[in-house]
Amino acid sequence: MQTGNPHGPIWLNVGEPSGDLHGAELLKRLKEVHPSASFTGMGGPAMEAEGMDVRYSMKLISLVGLTEILSGLPRILKLLGKIKRELREIRPRAIILIDCPEFNFRIAKIAKKLGIPVYYYISPQIWAWRSGRAHFLREHVRKVICILPFEKEFYRKYDMNVDYVGHPLMDVLPLEELDKIEVDENLIGLLPGSRNKEVSSLLPEFALTAKILKKDHPNLKYIIVRAPGMEKERLLSLWPDDIPVEIVEPADRYEVFRSCKFIMAASGTVTLETALIGTPAIIAYKFSPLTAFLGRLLINVKLCSLPNLILGREVYPEHVQELCQAELLAKSAQKWLDDEAAYTGVKRELIELRSMVGNPGAALRAARIIVEDIIELGL
């Protein structure tokens, strides 16, 4: 039985920057569909700018990898206790979880005991690893709202209430304007990640790659898109003085992506942004040894980047763990620099991917699904 408070706020819960952006877009649409509703929960600056009462900063749970989650567990358990008491007090009408399954599954469990209906937007990537968690979702979540075309079929196998709304990036990316930007054949983009551990492991490899490429391609220029919260000085300290590099702000990232010949990027949502914009990317990532070991035991998919998963084949070269070496990254880069047919072939694949991801309006469709169901419950 659902016992959410019909006069209470709607609680949203996110735990990372990409979730904050998607949450802000969903908030905007929820206010359109349900102007009288109020919103609170855990979020970031983008959601706060949309008028949400952010009671808990998403930075409190911004962790990566299994080992990092384990080391932060005592703090997280204490935080969950606080949120549980608050949910019991204010009795939200509903809870909307956005990605971040390691934390949000615990929120779903608390909500179930309190009888508060839960909706999962940006469904967790359990098709990639620990797929058995679908049984947990079926028991604890009223509706799963997915954004990738292959996810609906996966969740249906578990007899779940699931809706596919398309990808919210299609609302955020000004593709018509970006398509007009000319590509600079000598400009290589660098996206070393948003966390210190990512940057410290990837940017030195990107720098060594640049040194290797300099021999046959002396005219190449490099541009780093600084992630929010990442200091410029930190990036420069990991980059050699003899290779020119420019550092630009995150607000300019889409125009920069489009103007690059290709990009070397940390695996993550940003790789799908580059793909939809139409700029090829070489994917790189390094995990801690324990996370890598456990990942090999638990991961169900052979590919890690979203563009490759959507297309069902390795269009973006993936350099993960022991493959994340400058010599191997340089080989992938040289192929696109020296073989025009290989490069244009990837560009063609990205046109296909854009058509597969769906039309704009994902957040609005999700907002309507959630609000209609809340109203149907009498909340």
**For residues 216 and 16, which has the higher predicted lDDT (pLDDT)?**
216
Task: Round the average pLDDT of the chain to a whole number and report it.
Answer: 89
Domain shared by 163 and 190, yes or no: no
Q: What percent of the chain has pLDDT above 70?
A: 91
Q: Where are the alpha helices (DSSP H) in 238-268?
A: 253-259
Domain shared by 160 and 255, yes or no: no
Q: What 3-state class would DSSP assign to 56?
A: strand
Q: Is residue 89 part of a domain?
A: yes
The pLDDT of 225-233, averaged and rounded, is 88
Backbone conformation region of residue 163, classed left if phi is above 0, alpha if psi is from -120 to 50, else beta = beta
How does residue 127 score in pLDDT terms, banded at 50, 70 and 90? low
Domain shared by 141 and 286, yes or no: no
Domain shared by 81 and 164, yes or no: yes
Residue showing tokens 């990092």 = 68
Q: Is the distance from CB of 10 to CB of 38 less than 8 angstroms?
A: yes
Q: What 3-state class would DSSP assign to 241?
A: coil
Cα–Cα dist 332/375, whole Å: 52
Query: What pLDDT was estimated at residue 100?
Result: 85
Query: What pLDDT was estimated at residue 292?
Result: 47
DSSP lists the bridge partners of residue 281 as 263
pLDDT reading at 229 higher than 90 = no
Cα–Cα dist 145/307, whole Å: 20
**Does an H or E element contain 105, and which?**
helix 101-114
Domain shared by 39 and 156, yes or no: yes
Sheet with 162-164, strands from edge to edge, namely 53-57, 39-43, 10-13, 94-98, 118-121, 143-146, 162-164
Closest CA to 267 of 350, 328, 324: 324
The whole domain housing 251 covers: 175-357
How does residue 31 score in pLDDT terms, banded at 50, 70 and 90? very high
Domain shared by 232 and 121, yes or no: no
Query: What pLDDT was estimated at residue 66?
Result: 47
Domain shared by 107 and 227, yes or no: no
The pLDDT of 66-92, averaged and rounded, is 81
Query: What pLDDT was estimated at residue 70?
Result: 59
Domain shared by 332 and 249, yes or no: yes
Q: Is the distance from CB of 149 to CB of 38 less than 8 angstroms?
A: no
The pLDDT of 126-148, averaged and rounded, is 84
Domain shared by 108 and 233, yes or no: no
Q: At what angle do helices 73-90 and 101-114 cross, to 10 degrees?
A: 30
Query: What pLDDT was estimated at residue 85?
Result: 95
Residue type, 125: Q
Query: What pLDDT was estimated at residue 111?
Result: 96
Domain shared by 224 and 119, yes or no: no
Domain shared by 119 and 236, yes or no: no
On the CB side of 90, CA atoms within 13 Å amount to 18
Domain shared by 190 and 290, yes or no: yes
How many beta carbons lie within 10 A of that of residue 187, not counting itself? 17
pLDDT reading at 64 higher than 80 = no
pLDDT digits (tens, 9 = 90+) for 192-203: 988 888 899 999
Q: pTM higher than 0.75, yes or no?
A: yes
Cα–Cα dist 56/40, whole Å: 9
Q: Is residue 3 part of a domain?
A: no
